[in-house]
């Protein structure tokens, strides 16, 4: 069983990271503290914003553990101490095998259904939304540009200060979680759609608020400070109870632990995300992983593409086979699935050389983002054939993609699929909570993860 690091250990880590972040930030020529900002009623400096973002990038897992321990999150502790929030019914007692996709690439089964209950983009309104947006805007710095205009929201701040790649920092329509139903042996997950930036302007703002508060961490009385931390998190209070996903723009992530089965050995792949990404930067994650999004946004495709297989196949093609066009070419998924190497992926699934199981859904306590957890077992020869078809070396998967660097273990095909290794990665302070959840649930069901 995973041993969750908390108490004195977490306090010690918080002291270390926040001291370093504060010292670095205060060396900036345009630094000012949150207390000074409150007294002067002035927006924070760009230096403060950058320091908060740096802390978020370097220590996201530790911040997630801190959020996990907030008193208002205690009712969501159901996953062996992994810093994720869920109700017990969100995690099936046994993994649910995804059905072979039909000609429309649907994967609904008697045990699992994913449904888009609305096609028009819906902006969820949290309670006291006007107050939420007012406080958020006051957290934003004055931009460095010719007119010194106030930044309007968090996405605007990231775009104007960090200047991320326009190729990937895009306000794409995405599926946001509305509800999870459990009826007898069937799980039904309902979604609507919203914009990616709508999520960032709520979920990532909650991350930023916690990191910003911790820049002024009272190191002389760490326990009492943590005990009263909830009182400082005004936006988190306004965002509502953690389980009320319907009232936030809670875009779901798809997180898939890839297991490679040679027939004699089983290994799993992990990757390190680079620090230039808009979210979850500088962390260790499973591969592939990405937002639950349709490739097209007309009403028909929004309903048709609300299946786990379609996003999983696109993300695998993009992150493992390095095919950017698999995700961004705006084609209907049924048409895209006819372009190499995607037909080979569909064939591998239909012939039993690729199996995927649904492990459950939980919320990241830092961002309150829903995370759908999957595990896929793929034959090693199948992976090698897919790599060759994509024009890549089949000696091992590529070492890098646009999101970061893959980890390969000793033989270039990952780490041995053992309970010890899975729990080790789950405990690692660089591993994202969603990835830790995948590892822990895979360890719980090791005997099921094979192609037999």
Q: What distances in angstroms separate CA 235 from CA 127, 201, 215, 217, 374, one per listed residue?
A: 11, 11, 17, 18, 31
User: Quick check: 200 pLDDT over 90?
Assistant: yes
The 3-state DSSP class for residue 60 equals: helix
- The pLDDT score that the predictor gives to residue 326 is 57
What is residue 300's predicted lDDT score, i.e. its pLDDT? Answer: 86
pTM of the model: 0.91
* Residue 395 backbone dihedrals phi, psi, to 5 degrees: -65, -40
Confidence of residue 225 (pLDDT cuts 50, 70, 90): low
- 74 Cβ partners below 8 Å, 6+ apart? none
Residue 325 clears pLDDT 90, i.e. is over it: no
Per-residue model confidence (pLDDT) at position 22: 66
Q: Going by C-beta distance under 8 Å and a sequence separation of 6 or more, which residues neighbour residue 33?
A: 48, 215, 216
In the predicted model, is pLDDT for residue 427 greater than 80? Answer: yes
* Average pLDDT over every residue of 355-378: 97
Q: What is the pLDDT of residue 81?
A: 83
Domains of the chain: 76-123+250-448 (3.90.79.10)
Given a cut of 60, whether residue 6 has pLDDT beyond it is no
Q: Which of 370, 178, 190, 154 is nearest to 278 (CA)?
A: 154
pLDDT at position 86 is 96
Distance, CA of 143 to CA of 151 (rounded, Å): 6
Question: Is residue 37 classed as helix, strand or coil in its secondary structure?
Answer: helix
Q: pLDDT band at 54, cuts 50/70/90?
A: confident
Residue 17 pLDDT level (bands cut at 50, 70, 90): confident
pLDDT over threshold 80, residue 137: yes
Lowest mean pLDDT among 82-91, 149-158, 214-223, 356-365: 214-223
How far apart are the C-alpha atoms of 424 and 31, rounded to whole Å? Answer: 38
Confidence check: pLDDT of 100 > 80: yes
| Contact criterion met (CB below 8 Å) for 211 and 52 | yes
Confidence band, pLDDT 50/70/90 cuts, at residue 328: low
Is the predicted pLDDT of residue 37 greater than 60, yes or no? no
- Supply the pLDDT for residue 219: 60
Give burial (CB, 10 Å; 0-12/13-18/19+) of 345: buried
Mean pLDDT across 353-374: 97
The span from the first CA to the last CA of the chain, in angstroms, equals 27
Q: What are 68's two structure tokens?
A: 């996990």
Q: Using one digit for the tens of pLDDT, what is the confidence trace for 162-180?
A: 888 887 788 988 999 999 9
pLDDT, tens digit (0-9, with 9 covering 90-100), for 250-300: 999 999 999 999 999 999 999 998 765 555 566 899 999 999 999 888 888
Tokens representing residue 125 in the block: 């309104």
In this predicted structure, what is the pLDDT of residue 4?
A: 38
The residue-averaged pLDDT of 75-104 equals 90
| pLDDT, position 27 | 61
Question: Is 192 a residue whose pLDDT tops 50?
Answer: yes
Q: Which pLDDT belongs to residue 5?
A: 38
Per-residue pLDDT tens for 67-87?
A: 998 999 999 999 988 999 999
Q: What is the percentage of the chain residues whose pLDDT exceeds 90?
A: 46
Residue 317 pLDDT > 80: yes
Give which of 313, 286, 291, 267 is closest to 436, Cα–Cα.
286
């Amino acid at each position: 069983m995973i041993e969750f690091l908390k108490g004195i250990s977490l306090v010690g880590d918080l002291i270390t990271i926040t001291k370093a972040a504060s010292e670095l930030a205060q060396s900036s020529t345009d630094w000012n503290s949150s207390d000074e900002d409150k007294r002067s009623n002035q927006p924070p400096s760009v230096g403060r914003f950058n320091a908060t973002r740096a802390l978020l990038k370097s220590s996201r897992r530790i911040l997630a553990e801190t959020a996990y321990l907030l008193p208002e999150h205690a009712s969501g502790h159901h996953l062996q101490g992994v810093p994720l929030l869920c109700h017990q019914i969100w995690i099936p007692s046994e993994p649910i095998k995804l059905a072979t996709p039909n000609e429309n690439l649907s994967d609904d089964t008697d045990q699992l259904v994913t449904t888009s209950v609305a096609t028009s983009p819906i902006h969820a309104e949290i309670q006291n939304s006007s107050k939420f947006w007012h406080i958020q805007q006051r957290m934003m710095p004055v931009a460095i540009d010719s007119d010194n205009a106030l930044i309007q929201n968090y996405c605007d701040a990231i775009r104007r200060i960090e200047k991320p790649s326009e190729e990937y920092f895009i306000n794409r329509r995405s599926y946001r979680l509305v509800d999870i139903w459990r009826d007898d042996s069937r799980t039904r997950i309902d979604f609507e759609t919203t914009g990616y930036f709508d999520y960032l302007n709520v979920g990532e703002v909650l991350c930023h608020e916690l990191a910003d508060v911790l820049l002024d961490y009272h190191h002389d009385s760490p326990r009492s400070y943590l005990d009263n931390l909830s009182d400082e998190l005004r936006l988190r209070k306004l965002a509502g109870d953690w389980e009320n996903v319907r009232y936030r723009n809670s875009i779901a992530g798809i997180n898939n632990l890839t297991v490679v089965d040679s027939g004699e050995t089983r290994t799993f792949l992990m990757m390190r995300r680079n620090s230039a990404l808009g979210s979850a930067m500088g962390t260790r994650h499973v591969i592939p992983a990405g937002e639950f999004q349709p490739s097209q946004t007309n009403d028909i495709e929004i309903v048709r593409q609300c299946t786990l297989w379609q996003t999983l196949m696109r993300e695998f093609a993009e992150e493992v086979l390095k095919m950017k066009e698999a995700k961004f070419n705006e084609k209907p998924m049924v048409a895209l699935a006819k372009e190499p190497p995607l037909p080979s992926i569909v064939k591998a699934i239909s012939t039993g050389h690729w199996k995927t199981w649904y492990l459950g859904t939980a919320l990241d306590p830092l961002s309150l983002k829903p995370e759908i957890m999957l595990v896929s077992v793929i034959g090693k020869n199948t992976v090698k054939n897919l790599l060759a078809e994509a024009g890549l070396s089949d000696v091992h998967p590529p070492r890098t993609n646009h999101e970061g660097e893959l980890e390969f273990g000793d033989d270039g095909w990952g780490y041995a699929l053992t309970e010890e290794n899975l729990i080790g990665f789950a405990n690692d302070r660089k591993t994202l909570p969603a990835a830790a959840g995948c590892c822990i649930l895979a360890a719980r069901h090791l005997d099921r993860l094979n192609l037999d």
